[in-house]
DNA sequence: GTGAAAGCGCTAACAC
DNA sequence: GTGTTAGCGCTTTCAC
């Protein structure tokens, strides 16, 4: 990497002159226009990029602001990151937690491992990571990270955890359906090559509980015409298949809000009455569910609280490094509406 | 701020011993258990937080990775940030642009100024900022930022710009309505204390064009019962007001997807036929619009392209600092559906 | 087992 | 106008 010394050598001047010019104070310090031009040009030609670590180290009179890596995968719910940022700002400006900065480290589901070299360099004061696949969890388990880690999913002993209890959600939905006297229920989720582990946990727990209650439980599956990027569309396709196969359970658990919106629109078109013919509970949050006719019962991932607890935990971990990891399970929020009353 | 020297002095040992212990290599270097415990405890008690700038500077054999500030306000569309991250990852891993890291700097609409001290310290290799209110633009205009800046909105001569032409959108929608022979049209937007400047630009341009075409244009306004956080709900309220006042134009431009979903659900309940009684064009993107009955014509903010161009521009600016700022205007994407055919 | 010292890239005070 | 020098906080080599 090219430093100001390289530039200085190249143009036959001292590093301080180069520094002066590059930080835009050449004029003020009365560096000659010719020198200035030469330095700028050379820096440009040599592809100079200032090393912010050096600059910060040299000039910061104030304290160092902790830098936290925020590993992010595309399948996180889009609302989550926005919420996280809002909550962060509120908590910092209210003085509830110390100032900290989040650096985005993108990764793809199942490929968290690719960030290994970055994460183990210890170039961050902390790490926030929502693992999605088992591979990501396995990677975290086996990797020895020296800085505080807050995971947003997964069973990893050595790190802090803020999460929801997905198994409990699956179980509870089945219990509600059982309490309502259903004998034939269904569960619908997106047909991805590989589902997120959280989806899988809710699913298996739902199915197991149904079995325990002797309810016939069916998984809604459909052959999709190639990859479907649009979950609303996918919901429609799955619902159409149900109807075609005359496979209509009396209660349905839909694992995604967009999927639900698509499916429900088909049900209402096809004259399936909700909740009379079929009760519906949706995991996810979407204003649409509320204004649907009838309004749809939903269980939502508490983005605000998760963000809040995550930031709180990171703050504590920064202040008291080496303390035992904390596991914080946040309750999901049930909003009972007409599609499936309590 | 407390450094390893402070700790060393406190425990009466040398900085290198402290460093060894704190970086978890005490065992390997056969530091005594007692010393180790003492150092750890003292560091904890004194609130030691490692200075990553110093660590990076000292240990990085590799080149410095540019650090870009990403100013983010809560009103940015939630999908945008996710898209940005995905696009970023693709572009970096494909080698299209150099590696760079984004640091999130949250700000509230109109309060970008509060980031001034951070932004002018030059602690970042670049800055990406989507200003929302005029105050934010004014702040950027008057502030002398030394590093490359890519703005995602606003007329600011000295910085790069990647944006859409909001005025053109407003004008074009009015033109479509005129071409379809409408005489009485309407525009609906969220009743916020203070609208984003982009919304305002589309609005005034729409209204001006309507006037030029001698179309009667009406702004849909409603007294909301207190603050409405839910835009779908707000859309319903506004639509209900239209119906109550018997104020139904033959063509309507709705400036937000969620607003539209709420409004349209009311229209269809109340027997207003789309497009026969009223044509509708929506600014925004939502899978819902596509599966509505009838499907809704929409104009979407091209998050992917904007992200792409923004990252491309930043990459160029890093490689060639001091080159003239570029203004890149991206076309919005029209998807004509039944609610208003081309 | 622990300490001394060098040096990462940069800025700024001061010297000339 | 430009150069010399010290030092930001940390890690690491080498010495003892």
Residues, chain B: 342
Q: Does residue A82 share a domain with residue A49?
A: no
Q: Are A129 and A103 in contact (CB under 8 A)?
A: no
Tell me which residue range forms the domain holding A30: 4-58
Q: Is B326 on the interface with A (CB under 8 A)?
A: no
The single residue listed with the structure tokens 């001569």 is B157
Q: Does residue A39 share a domain with residue A96?
A: no
The single residue listed with the structure tokens 């204003």 is A287
Q: Does residue A272 share a domain with residue A227?
A: yes
Question: What pLDDT sits at residue A36?
Answer: 84
Q: Which residues of B245-259 are buried (b: 16+ CB within 10 A; e: fewer)?
A: eeebbbbbbbbbbbb
Question: What pLDDT sits at residue A84?
Answer: 96
Q: Are B74 and A86 in contact (CB under 8 A)?
A: yes
Q: Is A64 on the interface with B (CB under 8 A)?
A: yes
Q: Does residue B174 share a domain with residue B198?
A: yes
Instruction: Read off the CATH number of the domain in which A77 is found.
Output: 3.40.50.2300
Instruction: Read off the CATH number of the domain in which B37 is found.
Output: 1.10.260.40
Q: Are B85 and A74 in contact (CB under 8 A)?
A: yes
Distance from CA of A179 to the nearest CA of B (A): 32
Least CB–CB distance from A23: residue in B44, B63, B122: B122
Q: Does residue A194 share a domain with residue A134?
A: no
User: Concatenated DSSP letters for A8-59?
Assistant: HHHHTS-HHHHHHHHTT-TTTTT--HHHHHHHHHHHHHHT----HHHHHHHH
pLDDT digits (tens, 9 = 90+) for B219-244: 998 777 776 678 888 999 999 999 99
Least CB–CB distance from A85: residue in B88, B106, B258: B106
CB-CB under 8 Å, A60 with B53: yes
User: Concatenated DSSP letters for A288-325?
Assistant: HHHHSSSPPEEEE--HHHHHHHHHHHHHHHHHSTTSPP
- 3-state percent breakdown (helix, strand, coil) of chain B, nearest 5: 45, 15, 40
Give nucleotides in strand D with any atom < 7 A to a protein C-beta: 1-5, 7-13
Q: How many Cα atoms occupy the beta-carbon half-sphere of B56 within 13 Å?
A: 22
Q: Does residue A42 lie in a domain region?
A: yes
Distance CA B94, CA B96 (A): 5
Q: Does residue B342 lie in a domain region?
A: no
Question: What pLDDT sits at residue B24?
Answer: 77
Q: Does residue B287 share a domain with residue B220?
A: yes
Q: Which residues of A265-297 are buried (b: 16+ CB within 10 A; e: fewer)?
A: bbbbeeebebbeebbbbbbbbbbbbbbbebbbb
Question: What pLDDT sits at residue B27?
Answer: 66
Q: Does residue B279 share a domain with residue B233?
A: yes
For chain A, the average pLDDT equals: 92
The answer for residues whose C-beta is within 8 angstroms of residue A8's C-beta and 6 or more apart is A14, A15, A17, A18
Question: What pLDDT sits at residue A92?
Answer: 96
Q: Does residue A290 share a domain with residue A204?
A: yes
Question: Is the entire prediction scored with pTM above 0.85?
Answer: yes
- 3-state percent breakdown (helix, strand, coil) of chain A, nearest 5: 45, 15, 40
The single residue listed with the structure tokens 């090393």 is A51
**Contacting residues 39-78/A vs strand C (CB within 7 A):** 48, 50-51, 54-55, 57-59
Asked whether the predicted pLDDT for residue A27 surpasses 70, the reply is no
Q: Does residue A337 lie in a domain region?
A: no
Q: Does residue B75 lie in a domain region?
A: yes
- Chain A residues whose CB is inside 8 A of the B269 CB are 293
For chain B, the average pLDDT equals: 92
Distance CA A119, CA A144 (A): 9
- Give the DSSP H or E segment for A92: helix A78-93
- Give the DSSP H or E segment for B161: strand B160-164
Least CB–CB distance from B89: residue in A51, A70, A106: A106
C-alpha gyration radius of chain B: 27
Q: Which residue of B has its CA nearest to A92?
A: B106
Distance from CA(A297) to C1'(D10), angstroms, rounded: 55
Pick from A25, A97, A23: which is nearest to A54 by CA?
A: A23
CB atoms within 10 A of CB B226: 6
CB proximity under 8 Å: B 153-212 to A: none
pLDDT digits (tens, 9 = 90+) for B235-280: 999 999 999 998 899 999 999 999 999 999 999 989 999 999 999 9
Distance from CA(B32) to C1'(C6), angstroms, rounded: 26
CB-CB under 8 Å, B103 with A1: no
Q: Is B96 on the interface with A (CB under 8 A)?
A: no
Q: Does residue A341 lie in a domain region?
A: no
SS3 A161: strand
Quote the tokens at residue A322: 């080496």
Q: Which residue of B has its CA nearest to A64?
A: B51
Q: Across residues B170-188, what is the average pLDDT? A: 97
Distance from CA of B210 to the nearest CA of A (A): 32
Q: Does residue B246 share a domain with residue B194?
A: yes
pLDDT digits (tens, 9 = 90+) for B146-161: 899 999 999 899 999 9
Q: Does residue B185 share a domain with residue B254?
A: yes
CB atoms within 10 A of CB A120: 13
Q: Does residue A135 lie in a domain region?
A: yes
Q: Does residue A338 lie in a domain region?
A: no
Q: Does residue A283 lie in a domain region?
A: yes
CB-CB under 8 Å, B72 with A53: no
SS3 B275: coil
Q: Does residue A177 share a domain with residue A160?
A: no
Domain count, chain B: 3
Q: Are A207 and A218 in contact (CB under 8 A)?
A: no
CB-CB under 8 Å, A290 with B288: no
Q: Does residue A92 share a domain with residue A9?
A: no
């Amino acid at each position: 990497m090219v430093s100001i010394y390289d530039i200085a050598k190249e143009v036959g001047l001292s590093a301080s002159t180069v520094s002066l010019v590059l930080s835009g104070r050449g004029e003020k310090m009365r560096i000659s226009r010719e020198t200035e031009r030469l330095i700028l040009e050379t820096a440009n030609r040599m592809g100079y990029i200032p090393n912010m670590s050096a600059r910060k180290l040299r000039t910061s009179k104030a304290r160092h602001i902790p830098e936290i890596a925020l590993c992010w995968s595309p399948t996180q719910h889009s609302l989550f990151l926005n919420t996280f940022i809002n909550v962060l700002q509120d908590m910092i400006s209210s003085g509830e937690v110390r100032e900290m900065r989040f650096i985005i480290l993108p990764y793809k589901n199942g490929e968290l491992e690719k960030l290994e070299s970055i994460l183990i360099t210890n170039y961050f004061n902390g790490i926030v990571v929502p693992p999605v696949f088992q591979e990501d969890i396995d990677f975290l388990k086996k990797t020895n990270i020296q800085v505080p880690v807050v995971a947003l999913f997964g069973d990893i002993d050595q790190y802090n955890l803020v999460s929801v209890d997905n198994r409990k959600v699956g179980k509870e939905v089945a219990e509600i359906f059982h309490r309502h006297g259903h004998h034939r229920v269904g569960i619908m989720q997106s047909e991805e090559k590989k589902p997120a582990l959280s989806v899988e946990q809710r699913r298996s727990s739902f199915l197991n509980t149904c079995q325990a209650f002797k309810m016939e439980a069916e998984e809604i599956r459909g052959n999709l015409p190639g990859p479907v990027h649009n979950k609303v569309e996918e919901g429609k396709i799955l619902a159409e298949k149900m109807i075609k196969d005359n496979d209509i359970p009396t209660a349905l658990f839909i694992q995604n809000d967009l999927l639900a919106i698509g499916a429900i629109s088909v049900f209402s078109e096809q004259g399936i009455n909700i909740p009379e013919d079929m009760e519906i509970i949706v995991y996810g949050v979407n204003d649409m569910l509320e204004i649907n006719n009838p309004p749809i019962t939903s269980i939502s991932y508490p983005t605000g609280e998760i963000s809040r607890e995550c930031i709180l935990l990171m703050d504590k971990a920064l202040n008291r490094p080496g303390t035992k990891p904390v596991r914080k399970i946040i309750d999901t929020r049930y909003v009972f509406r007409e599609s499936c009353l309590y």
